[in-house]
A and B are shown apart, each in its own frame.
Chain A
Amino acid sequence: MSLSILFVQILTGLAYGMLYFMIAAGLTIILGVMNVVNLAHGTFFLIGAYVAYTLVSKHLGFWLALILSVGVTAILGLVIERLLIHRVYGKELEQVLLTFGLTFMLSDAAKWIWGTDIQTIPVPRVLDFSISVGSVDFPAYRLFIVAVGGALAVILWLLENRTRIGAIIRAGVDDRAMVTALGINVGAVFTGVFAFGAALAGLGGVLGGPLIGVYTGLDGDILVTSLIVVTVGGLGSWKGPFVGALLIGLMDTLGKVWFPSFSMLVIFLLMVVILLIRPRGLFGREVAP
């Protein structure tokens, strides 16, 4: 393998890694703040991607479609939290079942509405060109994903550490009763966090659409990938899912090149090795039970 091909592979891995980070960030914040295992997370990704696909094919343009579909997933998350999720706080098993039931329903509904064929969201026109790296071309869109992922990581970090809402959330994780006593409506904060997490998945869906396509069963693939990212990186901070996502993105891409039949095995073995050394993931601290 020539050096420029290796470089392109690493760039591709980085792009996938950043995409995984966008998705895993939503899962992390819901799991870390609310202690909710959200198995419907991949479904938000799927719905975001499908809505964007429909809007783009209605000639609304990629960017407007992006904003609208992220809005749709945020509202969907909001409604689901208000109607259902807030009834099962603190009940791990019921959360698993409830979100699994939702996945069951929503992915079948998606199959009903959009069919079972693979759909692709076209790359937005501004980004539809390639950059030559040595002797090979690299699509600009992937660089764009890397940039968005990096920017998101910075924004999330600033939100958590430099804003009042971030302080409330951090305090809410450690001592919910105290935050409530301070007159802060923790319920509303949780609703917001859930909607925000869903929106992040939706964003991943729209931006990932041109990269991986949209198809039946994608929700499961995405859920599993983000679960692995969170498991490898560890819960409790943004550093975990960020490093985990980049690691998984790189290993996945390189694994597909070197061991095409066993790329899943590569990721899984990486996860097992990391968990053997650090049972809570690379940067994990124990979340409140």
Chain B
Amino acid sequence: MKKTLLSAIVLVAVTAALPWVLGDYGVNLATEVYIMAILAMSLGLLMGYAGLVSLGHAAFFGIGAYTVALLGPAIPSTIVLIGLSMVLAGIIAWVTGMIFIRTSRFYFLMITVAFGQLIFALIWQLKSWTGGADGHKVSAPLDFGFGEMGSPLALYAVMAVAMVIVYVFLRVFVNSPAGRIVQGVMDNENRMTALGYNVRFYKVLAYTVAGAIAGLAGSLYAYFNLFVSPELTGWMFSGQVMMMVIIGGVGTLMGPAVGAALFIILQNFISSYTERWPIILGALLVTLVLVGRGGIVHWVGLARTKIFVRQKEASLQKSSSGHLYGK
């Protein structure tokens, strides 16, 4: 709890200080980073704490974004609209999760890809309603009851606050009894079953929480970008979010957020030089997979063990080998 509070304070201090250092462009970029960090943290919860490798997580992001885009004209309250995005994404995650979680790992990966493509195809095909491939404008104003927040700095503040809240919530969740059980299930499903836990329930719980938070990220993105398109739900975007999680490090909450920052900054940097940024980013990813086991957060951990050898060697070893890597 103390650690959570400390990291939250550091996060608040950093996000509050950043606008003084960054220019207009930087503030805008940081705002996008915060939204993607929320999305990446929610996938990080699934992959790193529940052992569920989903390649369709962007579907929930898209559901949140399209909820704001389509219902914005009908529902003026931002709080209600964002809440609705989360509830809708959460319910869909809960229902689909109950089906998906029955399958084994390979099937889970494949079925989540298919689910993401389903949402993508539905948005694409329901053209008269969603705008199809042309996308949809977002006309809902961002207003929490004290005036419309349209300026870049106001948007920055909203997204920063949202990110800190999500981080603290996820930290509390993974340290809660339910969160501990979720991690226990990832470590050894049979043991948890033998202990009498309803393993399936806790997996679905993690999937639902992750889905709802991805929905939140999507709705925030709609307010930020003022335009949504089917690509937000596609498997390519899901793959990019997975890239963010792995670049940062699986098995932590801060890792995916750091990965999101790095990904967005790299993407912006490279695409300002060349249109062919996917080739370069893809090559970087391939290189990272081959040489950089465990992601940035684990490198920091590794460096720390090198410097403070005796400090909690066992616990670091556990986190840096990672359950998802090798056997």
Residues of A within 8 A of B (CB): 31, 37, 39, 84, 87-88, 90-94, 96-98, 100-109, 112, 220, 223-224, 227-228, 230-231, 235, 261-265, 268, 271-272, 275-276, 279-281, 286-287, 289
| Assembly CA distance A272 to B103 (angstroms) | 11
**Contacts from B to A (Cβ < 8 Å):** 47, 53, 55, 99, 102-107, 109-111, 113-115, 117-118, 121-122, 125-126, 234-236, 239, 242-243, 246, 250, 276, 278-279, 281-283, 285-286, 289-290, 324-327
Do A227 and B239 contact each other (CB < 8 Å), given the known contacts A272-B99, A286-B104?
no
Query: Which residue of the partner chain, among B242, B279, B326, contacts A90 with CB atoms under 8 Å?
Result: B326
Q: Which residue in A97, A231, A268 is a CB contact (below 8 Å) of B118?
A: A268
B107 touches A275 (CB 8 A): yes
Which residue of chain B has its CB nearest to the CB of A107? B278
A100 touching B276, Cβ below 8 Å: no
Q: A96-B242, A97-B243, A275-B107 are in contact. Are A264 and B121 (CB under 8 A)?
A: yes
Min Cβ gap B240→A in Å is 8
Tell me which of B53, B102, B242, B246 contacts A92 (CB under 8 A).
Answer: B53
Q: What residues of chain A lie closer than 8 Å to B126, measured between beta carbons?
A: 261
Closest chain B residue to A231, Cβ basis: B110
In the complex, chain A residues whose CB is within 8 Å of the CB of B115: 268
Interface of A, helix, strand, loop or mixed by DSSP: helix
Cβ-closest chain A residue relative to B114: A228
Given the known inter-chain contacts A90-B327, A101-B283, A231-B114, please indicate yes or no for A37 contacting B106, CB distance below 8 A.
Answer: yes
Q: With A101-B289, A109-B279 in contact, do A275 and B114 touch (Cβ < 8 Å)?
A: no
Q: What would be 27 A-B contacts, judged by CB atoms less than 8 Å apart?
A: A37-B106, A90-B327, A91-B326, A92-B105, A92-B324, A93-B250, A94-B325, A96-B109, A97-B289, A101-B282, A104-B278, A107-B278, A108-B276, A108-B282, A220-B235, A227-B113, A231-B111, A231-B114, A262-B122, A263-B125, A265-B121, A265-B122, A275-B111, A279-B102, A279-B103, A279-B104, A279-B107
Interface centre among A37, A105, A271, A289, by most B CB within 10 Å? A105
- Do A287 and B106 contact each other (CB < 8 Å), given the known contacts A87-B290, A88-B289, A93-B246? yes
Query: Which single residue of chain A is at the shortest CB-CB distance from B235?
Result: A220
A101 nearest CB neighbor, chain B only: B285
Do B243 and A108 touch across chains, with their CB atoms under 8 A apart? no
Q: A97-B285, A228-B110, A231-B114 are in contact. Are A261 and B125 (CB under 8 A)?
A: yes
State in angstroms the CA–CA spacing of A103 and B113 once bound together: 15
Report whether over half of chain B's contact residues are helix, strand or loop; otherwise say mixed. Answer: helix
User: Do B286 and A98 have beta carbons less than 8 Å apart?
Assistant: yes
A281 to B106, CA, bound (A): 12
Q: Once the chains are docked, how many angstroms separate the CA of A31 from the CA of B107?
A: 11
Query: How close is B139's CB to chain A, nearest CB, in angstroms?
Result: 25
- Picked from B99, B235, B286, the residue with its CB within 8 Å of the CB of A224 is B235
- A105 lies within 8 A of B53 (CB): no
**In the bound complex, what is the Cα–Cα distance between A106 and B105 (angstroms)?**
26
Inter-chain CA distance A87–B122, complex, in Å, is 38
Are A265 and B118 in contact, CB atoms less than 8 angstroms apart?
yes
> A280 with B53: in contact, given A90-B326, A96-B109, A261-B126 (CB under 8 Å)?
no
Question: B125's contact among A103, A262, A279, by CB below 8 Å, is which?
Answer: A262
Q: How far, in whole Å, are A65 and B254 apart by their CA atoms in the complex? A: 51
CA–CA, A228 to B235, complex, Å?
Answer: 14
Partner of B285, one of A100, A227, A264, A280: A100
Chain B residues, Cβ within 8 Å of A90:
326-327
B residues within 8 A CB of A220? 117, 234-236
Inter-subunit contact B107/A105 (CB<8 Å): no
In addition to A87-B290, A97-B289, A223-B235, 16 A-B residue pairs with Cβ atoms within 8 Å of each other are A37-B109, A84-B286, A90-B326, A93-B53, A101-B282, A104-B279, A104-B285, A223-B113, A227-B113, A231-B110, A264-B117, A265-B118, A271-B111, A275-B107, A279-B104, A280-B104
A281–B83 Cα distance when bound, in Å, is 36
Nearest Cβ on chain A to B100's Cβ, whole angstroms: 8
Residues of B close to A101: CB separation below 8 A: 243, 282-283, 285-286, 289
Q: CA–CA, A284 to B320, complex, Å?
A: 34
Q: Which residue of A lies closest to B236 (CB)?
A: A220
Cα distance A201–B189 when bound, in Å? 36
Say how far A110's CB is from chain B's closest CB, in angstroms: 11
Contacts of B99 in A (CB 8 A): 272, 275-276
Query: In the complex, which residue of chain B has the Cβ closest to the Cβ of A106?
Result: B282
